[in-house]
Amino acid sequence: MGIASRMICPKCGFEQPDAVECIRCGIVIEKYRGPNEAVPFQPASTESRPLKSRPAFGWHSLLRLTLLVGMGLFAISYLLKDRLPDSDEILEDLYRNPVQTRVDLPPFQIEAGNIVYTIIPLYTYELYGLVVSNHDCGAWWDIYHHGQWKDFINVKDLCVLWGGNLKGELYKEMRFTSDSWTCTYYWPNEDVGSRFNHTCLSNNHLLSYDESITRALQDTENGDQIYLSGYLAEYTHSRGEFYRGTSTTRGDTGNGACETIYVEEYKILRRAHPFWRMVFTVSRYVILGSLLLLVIRFFHPAVTLNQP
């Protein structure tokens, strides 16, 4: 059934079926508007039209955004996670000096990585300290410990401060770095260097084959406040000519000034910035996951349908 044509009166605006005269005001429509002014009323069509489908959700854009966010969080957390704590966060025990006592104990042996190590204890040793730099002896780029020396019990090296060096936040003005051998520290000017007490710092080669102690050592980062006890010791092993000694005083410097400690007890008393460490860990997984999914989509793009 067709739809009747309708019109609007050009004078009074009344809508009515198409006619010669307006049924409201009575004008002759053709005479009123002239032959060139006819504008027929266009009724709304009742015919349904297919809606154009919206494009699929932009997963590629979402992955790129996720990657950028992950990279931003990674950069921020990397800068913040290892900041040294403020002086009001330092535990009271860290102002103590290390305690050592001479012992007369026979050497003992342990085995790790099919290698027999002989430990020669010299002193009992107890230390509270703030970790200002560290070195993972199992790092892939460390060619000495596992590679050349076949040393699998030196788990980690911790450069530690205590005592007067923790007062007044002098330590936050300095910079500390660790490598396979040493801990190196830098001061920005002579005033800071003159106030820094070099006898309240030690670089500690920490020996362990106990799994729980090893995990705790590996989990230690800059800014952590720690406690350890054990023996200042020398040690050798059964694979070739290997020997490492230990310093027995905090006043020495240079080669041989590091403390070698066989650890029997170890605690992280307070962690530095656990939130930013969590963000750092999560952001790495976000970056890796986003890159992996982007590569998958690159080689296996989703099929899209073009619609009119």
How confident is the model at residue 33, as a pLDDT?
A: 62
How confident is the model at residue 206, as a pLDDT?
A: 97
List of the chain residues with pLDDT < 50: 38-39, 41-42, 44-46, 51, 56, 303-308
Does residue 55 sit within a domain? no
- Range 36-43, long-range pairs (CB < 8 A, 24+ positions): 37/10, 39/8, 40/5, 40/7, 41/5, 41/6, 41/7, 41/8, 41/15, 43/3, 43/6
- The reported pTM is 0.71
Structural domains in the chain (count): 3
Q: 262 with 244, same domain?
A: yes
Task: Residue 43: name the closest of 76, 88, 4 by CA.
Answer: 4
Task: Residue 249: name the closest of 203, 205, 204, 199 by CA.
Answer: 199
How confident is the model at residue 306, as a pLDDT?
A: 44
How confident is the model at residue 38, as a pLDDT?
A: 47
How confident is the model at residue 303, as a pLDDT?
A: 43
How confident is the model at residue 78, as a pLDDT?
A: 85
Does residue 189 sit within a domain? yes
Q: 180 with 130, same domain?
A: yes
How confident is the model at residue 190, as a pLDDT?
A: 92
How confident is the model at residue 305, as a pLDDT?
A: 38
Q: 148 with 257, same domain?
A: yes
Residue 152 has φ and ψ, to the nearest 5°, of -110, 5
Q: 253 with 107, same domain?
A: yes
Q: 41 with 124, same domain?
A: no
What's the rounded Cα separation, in Å, for the pair 84 and 102? 33
Q: 160 with 266, same domain?
A: yes
| Contact criterion met (CB below 8 Å) for 269 and 226 | yes
Question: What range does the domain containing 289 cover?
Answer: 61-78+277-299
Q: 142 with 256, same domain?
A: yes
Does residue 244 sit within a domain? yes
Task: Residue 192: name the closest of 166, 167, 174 by CA.
Answer: 174
How confident is the model at residue 15, as a pLDDT?
A: 76
Q: 66 with 88, same domain?
A: no
pLDDT tens track for 187-209: 999 999 999 999 999 999 999 98
Does residue 304 sit within a domain? no
